[in-house]
Structure 1
Amino acid sequence: MSLPILNRKLVLESAERSPDGAGGYDTSWQPLGTLWAEIKSGNGSARGENALQISRVPLKITVRAAQVGSDARPSAGQRFREGSRVYAILAVTEQDSRARYLVCHAAEEVAQ
């Protein structure tokens, strides 16, 4: 196994919900910190949704491991931001038995 090349600076964000006063809620994203990552893309797909064409690309985002419970450890439901690009984290696994790196299975969705 070769070591990942962590050459992309990503901001890890977590969703925060607050009441909207009408029985629902608003979601805002709060930054938790910056992580260096390697991003590898998979095969993309496209589908129509509400008169928009949505492109979806699965990604494997590798970051250094952090202890369980740490704000620096990504988890499903969070997201990475790289400028205007947003990557939703779907699942997180350890890359190897020594748990030196985490692989975040993510997706970037872009409306066209």
Structure 2
Amino acid sequence: MYNNEPLGVCALIKMHQEDYDYEMAKMAVSPSAQGKNIGFLLGQAVLKKAKELGAQNLYLESNTILKPAINLYHKLGFKKIAGRDTSYKRCNIQMALHLDRSYQ
């Protein structure tokens, strides 16, 4: 929030799977705030919250047409993975991140 205006949002969705604790989803930054590092700050806050919740492994799905988002995920430490089933029709990239002590 800045001056009572939301600048960005992101969700952590609990996953009930052996290999991932949460899915990072629905990340968005207001067009008026894009290009100002808000996405990175939001991403760091989400990773910190996930760690506080006891998460060790995060997962996300996206589309490579969203180049700034994909670059942001890489900057946050996510790595491309493959082979998981998805219900998102537009998904053409899956990524994962193992949280280490740096997010405590």
Tell me the TM-score normalised to structure 1 length.
0.31
Tell me the TM-score normalised to structure 2 length.
0.32
Larger radius of gyration: 1
More helix by share: 2
More strand by share: 1
